[in-house]
Copies of this chain bind each other. A is one copy, B any other.
Amino acid sequence: MNILARTLKGFRDFLPEKQIPREQLIDKIKKTYQTFGFSPLETPVLEYADVLTGKYGDEGDKLMYKFRDNGDREVAMRYDLTIPLARVVAEYPELKKPFKRYQISPVWRAENTQKGRFREFYQCDADIIGSDSPLADAEILALSAQTMYDLGVRNFVVRVNSREIISAFYGGRLKLTLEKQLPIIRIVDKIDKIGADGIKKELITLGLKDSDADAVIVFSKTVIDSVDDLSKITELFPETKESLNKLYYIIAKAQELVPDANFKVDFSIARGLDYYTGMIFETNLNDLALFGSVLSGGRYDKLVGMFGKNDVSAVGASVGLDRLFSALEELKLVDTNKQTVAEVFVLNLGEELLPEYNLILRELRMAHIKTVFYFSSIDMKKQLAYASTLKIPFAVIFGENEKKEGIILVKDLNVETNSKTILDTKHLGKQEKIKMGELTSYILKMLDR
């Protein structure tokens, strides 16, 4: 019976001070996605293992949480939100296309926790299913940029490339088959982490000629900032002309939807996953250069077809919620200071006043003011210390004296939230006498509502 209370490595509890801003972040992302007309979908945490395996490469299959259930079925926990979506699209052909859905859910990967990675983390995906129009690609880019803006991030870059450009270069220039291209793409994908030298070493190990490895690196270092550079690039890489023009069209249309956003063509963007077929992108915060991408995605037109049905065009974006949250924390764009959602604390100064307290609680809550009541009538200072530790902004005090006077005292506790000392009533912030019946409107005014 004496079980140690502990959490698994790579798994986390989110106590209110983290979970309050985390839920606010999720709500904001959801709002942006909905504004673009994406609707919610939910899929199960468990899937038949064969639905998930073989789509993420060997690494993915190894990191997947797989087991036999009580009915001896081989099952696996969700590894991302894209394969379950592809499974849904294949399973319900009646879904009207284009089908625009979002899903914000946890996924599980048995990652090496020593690298600071987690085994349970959230993804926020938005995808357009059933349109091969470049306008769908443009919408996904615009949605991504708008998501960053709506979270208060200004200084970011959406780095865009396409698998078609990559294929044109590797196939057209280096004459490599698609099977030979994929291992190179996975190596180039690490350029931000291991640098050009690291890439070259791995390419040589893979069997590339020295001159081809050099060409790959020149190609991967190509970043195009403005339309003016385009002719220069197509001179350097003439084989990419057609696919580069297509990508430029996509970016131009995205730019019309989010004029201030910074979109860049960046040939180093490769995306590790095999399933991409067209436009691919990553989003970086300029103030946190080493942080990596917080929002990425691309077009994957062959994934639904893996379920034995016809191919269905698809393009999408995915926010890595936990990484984005850490980034916003560093940028001081989230508040991890609140230990409760409560806005008002009603002190308990005696059993005989309970009918009045309950009336006050009813009124405040009816006006959607988040209100807590202290359940025991212990010393007032201790009650105020509790409210102050939790950083509840306002305290409502109503004792026998206030009852006789027909008033309610409202104390502003905000001024003391940085103090660690036990509170003394005398040192508290502003204290106002409010007429009975005017409490709710006073608090609403103080809360700017």
Contacts and interface: CB of A to CB of B under 8 A. Distances in A.
A19 interface: yes
Nearest to A359: B256
Given A51-B5, A136-B375, A354-B253, A13 B35 contact: no
B37 A6 contact: no
Chain A interface size, as a band, is 35 or more
7 contacts: A7-B47, A8-B46, A8-B48, A16-B41, A19-B40, A34-B341, A36-B365
B131 A375 contact: yes
A96 B370 CA distance: 18
A224 interface: no
Given A19-B42, A96-B390, A389-B96, A67 B67 contact: yes
Interface in A136-176: 136, 139, 146
Given A3-B306, A8-B47, A386-B96, A41 B19 contact: yes
A257 interface: yes
Interface in A2-22: 2-9, 11-16, 19-20, 22
Nearest to A63: B70
Nearest to A119: B46
Contact of A16 (B16, B54, B101, B307): B101
* Highest count of chain B CB atoms <10 Å: which of A5, A35, A77, A355: A5
B340 A91 contact: no
A5 B340 contact: no
Nearest to A44: B11
B51 A3 contact: yes
A1 interface: yes
Most buried by B among A1, A68, A341: A341
B37 A14 contact: no
Contacts of A90: 5
Nearest to A27: B27
A438 interface: no
Contacts of A54: 1, 3
A393 to B, nearest CB: 12
Given A6-B91, A36-B370, 18 more contacts: A5-B51, A5-B309, A8-B47, A8-B73, A12-B44, A15-B41, A15-B88, A16-B39, A20-B39, A35-B365, A36-B365, A39-B339, A44-B120, A45-B77, A63-B70, A67-B68, A69-B110, A257-B361
Given A120-B44, A256-B355, A358-B256, A37 B372 contact: yes
List 5 A-B pairs, minimum CB-CB distance, nearest first. A37-B372, A67-B67, A5-B90, A16-B39, A11-B44
A359 B386 CA distance: 52
A310 B63 CA distance: 38
Interface string A95-136: 110101100001010100000000010000000100101011
A23 B47 CA distance: 22
Nearest to A106: B45
Contact of A46 (B11, B41, B98, B306): B11
Contacts of A390: 96
Nearest to A254: B358
A139 B358 CA distance: 10
